Amino acid sequence: MDRTTRVSVDVVVVGGGFAGVRCATLLAESGVSVCLLEENTHLGGQLLRRLPEGLTNNRRQTKDAVRRMGLRFLNQLRMQNITLMTGTAVIGIYPDIRLSVLVGERDVVEVRGKYLVLSMGARERFFPFPGWTLPGVISTGMVQVSIKNSGILPAPRMLIGGSGLFLLSAAYEFMHAGGRVISVLEDSGMISKMRMLPAVMPFPVKVIEGARFVSALVRHGVPWRFRRRIVAAEGKEALKSVVVARTDRRGRIRQGTEKRIVTDTLAVGYGFVPNTGLAAMAGCAMEYRSMLGGWTVKVNDWMETSVTRVFAAGEPTGIAGALKSIDEGEIAAIRILQLMEKIPDALALRHFSRGKRRRRAHERFGAHFNGLFRVPLAALEDIPDETVVCRCEDVKMGDIRRAIMAGYRTLPGIKTATRSTMGSCQGSTCIPILNDIISLLAPPESTKDPDPTSFRPPARPVRMGAFLDKNQHSMQ
Amino acid sequence: MKSADTLRIDGIDRNNPVMIRVNGHPVRAYSGETLLAVLIAAGFRTLRSSPVLKEPRGGFCGMGICRECLAKVNGVPGVRACMTQVEDGMEVDLNG
C-alpha cells in the first residue's frame, strides 16, 4: 500500500475473525465499501489459523465442524468493495470514526468511515503461579499457533494444565501433530461437568467436537485429571519440573497433596478475556459480566454500542465462541444496511428477531461454560507473594497485596502504586488477573464490579518514526 | 550449526529453505515459519531477560499479545518473534 494513502470508506471493520469476516461479507455484497483491518496475515481469526505460503500441508486435516463452517464463510468473502489491510494494528481511534492504523512497523495510515464495527476477538486468560514466567511455560494458544502457522511442535512432550475445554483442543492438535501429552490437568471439578449437557444440546456441532477431543485422549491413554492446580513451575534458566496439587471444593490447595512432574514444557490456559481496549478508546460504555469473561462492550440488540455509529460484535461483547461471533457479525451488518437504507425495514426486523433469540442462546451457553471452567476467586489467596503478576514490569503478588493494604483499591490506584499494567503488553496479560484480585481483596462498596480501565492511544508500542512527517521519514 | 528438525511436523512440504543467523550462529529455516517457532525448533528457548528482575524469558502467548518474545531483528530492537516470518539472511540478536 502506498504509504501516503488515506482510506475513506462506508464501514471500517476492526478484526478479521468470524464476526468481522461475516459482517464485511454481508456489507460488501450489498455494495457498501468496507475497510477490513486485521493484525495477522490471515483472515478467520484464531480458529482459521493455517500454514502460510511456502509451507504446504499434506497431513490428514483434523475434522472440525466449526472450522469448516468458518472456511465456508471465508470463501464467500469477495474482495469487491473491500479494502483489506492485513498485518496492521489500530493504534488510535478518534472522534468521528478516524483511526490511526500502523502498517508494518513504521507507517501510519488514517482510515475513516461512516460506521465502525469492533470485532477484536478475545485473548487467553491466565492464572499466575511461581515460575510461570520461565521459558518452557507457554500458553495453550501458542501450542496451536506453532503447529497451525509454522508446522512446528513447541516441544516433543508436554504437560497441559489450567481450565477449560480449550486445554483438550490444544492436547488434540498437539497429539495429532505427533506430540506426546503427559496429562491434562483441569483446575475445576468433574461432577459439575455433567450439568453442561442441557446448555450444549442446541449446538450439536459443539457436542461432536467435545466428544472427539475426549475420545482422542482416551485413545492415546492420556489422563484428564480434575481439581488439579498448577502450583509452581521450577527451573533456573528454563522449566525443569512442575508442582501440582489437589484442590478442595472452594478451589483452595489441599496442603500435602503436592506432586512434582518432570517436564521441560508446560502449556497453560484458563479461558478467555474479551478484547475491549479499542472499544474503550472509542468511548464505548462497558459492562462487567463475570460469566462472559469480565469487562465486555455494552451493546443493544442491534450490536450498537453507546457511541453513535460504533458497533461491537463477537467475543468483545462476551465470551461464547465462534457461533455467537458469526451471528453478531450478521446482526451488525444488517443494522448498518438498514441505517444506510440498503435493505427494507421488514427484512431487517425479521433478521433481528431471529438474531436476538440466537444471541440469548449463545450467551446462556457461554455463561454456563465459563462458569463450569472458572478458577474460583478464593484460589487467588493461595498465590505466594513472590509470584510475578505483571510480567512486563516484574510486579509481584506481594507488591499488589501491599498496595491494596495501603489503600490503593482500584485498578488505576494499583497501577500508580506498582507500575503493573504499564509495561510493553500494556496490561493485556495482567489486567484480567488484577480485576480478579480486586474483586477478592478490595471489592468496591457500592457494586462488586472493579473499575474499567481507561485506554488511550497508542494501543500498542509504536516507534517514534511512525509519527514523523512522511518526507522527513523517507529522508532518514 | 544448530539445526533440529525433530520438532518439524511430518507431512508438510517446506518449499523454500532459508538461512538466518541467531547470535551469529547459522540456523536453517523455511520461509513461512515464524521466527519464534524457528528459534524453538533450533533450541533457543530463552530469548531475553526481564527488565527489572533480569529473569530468563521466552515465547509465551505466541500471538503478539504478551511481548515476551522480543528480539533484535536486522538491527531493529523490540521485534515480536511470534509475529515475524523468517527471511533469508535475517540477523537475529537475543539478549537472553
Q: Under an 8 A CB cutoff, do A58 and B13 touch? A: yes
- Mean pLDDT, range A156-173, rounded to an integer: 95
Query: For chain A, what are the domain ranges?
Result: 6-123+273-343, 126-270, 384-441
Question: Coil, helix or strand for A254?
Answer: coil
Nearest CB to A425 within list B45, B59, B67:
B67
Contact A238 B31 (CB under 8 A): no
Query: Cis ω on the peptide bond leading into residue A458 (within 30° of 0)?
Result: yes
Judged by CB atoms closer than 8 Å, whether chains meet at A152 and B59 is answered as no
State how far the alpha carbon of A88 is from the alpha carbons of A104, A238, A253, A471, in Å: 6, 33, 43, 21
The SS3 assignment for A82 reads strand
Give the integer Cα–Cα distance in Å for A269 and A162: 5
- Domain positions in chain B are 17-93
Per-position DSSP letters for chain B, written without gaps between them: -----TTBPTTEEE--EEEEEETTEEEEEETTSBHHHHHHHTT----EE-TTT--EE---SSSSSS-TTEEEETTEEEEEGGG-B--TT-EEE---
> What's the pLDDT score for residue A192?
63
Residues of A with CB below 8 A from B76's CB?
105
What is the rounded CA–CA span in Å between residue A72 and residue A36?
Answer: 18
What tens digit of pLDDT does each residue of A87-131 get?
999 999 999 999 999 998 778 999 999 999 999 999 999 999 999
Name every residue whose Cβ is closer than 8 Å to that of residue A230 and which is 6 or more positions away in sequence.
Answer: A127, A129, A132, A161, A162, A185, A242, A243, A244, A266, A268
Please state which of the four CATH numbers 3.10.20.440, 3.90.650.10, 3.30.70.100, 3.30.1280.10 is assigned to the domain occupying B17-93: 3.10.20.440
What is the interface pTM, i.e. ipTM, of the complex? Answer: 0.96
Condensed to tens digits (0 to 9), the pLDDT of residues B73-93 reads 999 999 999 999 999 999 999
Q: Do domains A6-123+273-343 and A126-270 have the same CATH topology?
A: yes
Q: Does position A264 have pLDDT exceeding 60, yes or no? A: yes
Q: How many CA atoms lie within 13 A of A383 on its CB side?
A: 29
- pLDDT, averaged across chain A: 91
Domain A126-270 part of CATH 3.50.50.60: yes
| C-alpha to C-alpha distance for A53 and B15, rounded to whole angstroms | 9
Partner-chain contact B46 A238, CB within 8 Å: yes
Rounded to two decimals, the pTM is 0.93
pLDDT recorded at residue A139: 98
pLDDT digits (tens, 9 = 90+) for A406-458: 999 999 999 999 999 999 999 999 999 999 999 999 987 755 566 666 777 78
For residue A290, CA distances in Å to A145, A168, A233, A314, A315 come to: 27, 23, 28, 16, 13
Neighboring chain B residues of A52 at a CB cutoff of 8 Å: 32, 85
The second-level CATH assignment, the architecture, of A6-123+273-343 is 3-Layer(bba) Sandwich (3.50)
> Which residue(s) pair with B70 in the sheet?
B80
Helical packing angle, A65-75 and A18-29, nearest 10°: 30
Q: Which residues of A touch B9 (CB under 8 A)?
A: 59, 147, 151-153, 177-178
Q: Which residue in B has a C-alpha nearest to residue A140's C-alpha?
A: B61
Q: What percent of chain A has pLDDT over 90?
A: 76
A219-231 average pLDDT score: 96
DSSP H or E run through A297:
strand A294-297
